[in-house]
Amino acid sequence: GSCRHRCCPGRNNECWAPGARRAHCYCDSYCQRTGDCCQDYHATCRRAAVGCAVGPWGLWSGCSSPCGVGSRARSRQVTVPPRHGGDPCPDLKQRRGCLGQHPSCGTAK
């Protein structure tokens, strides 16, 4: 089988070509893990692969709860999207717990 006409990022079961003995061989980047790549996958698809690149983390947000348990979040942006089976993007969002301690929290009646 040949990947000449298509190379797919990630796991894509529709990205295949007819292989030996009526079996499918795959042209998606996941075929490297499963070992069922078409014979020209590395030469055709990986050469043009571009891995994801991301920018720096932004600042943490304020606590979602002014009083008591809440969460903070931060994010980052994709600067170069993955192409041609390149490495996928890492997490773009993070969340962590926090404890809201607004000055008015202890004054509720």
Check: CATH 2.20.100.10 for 54-80+89-108? yes
Q: What's the confidence (pLDDT) of residue 54?
A: 94
16-43 residue pLDDT tens: 888 877 788 998 888 888 989 988 888 8
Over residues 82-98, the mean pLDDT reads 87
pLDDT of res. 7: 84
Contact yes or no for 67/82 (Cβ under 8 A): no
Contact 94, 102 (CB under 8 A): no
Q: How many Cα atoms within 13 Å fall on the side-chain side of residue 27?
A: 20
**Averaged pLDDT for residues 40-68:** 86
Range(s) of the chain covered by CATH 2.20.100.10: 54-80+89-108
- pTM for the whole thing? 0.53
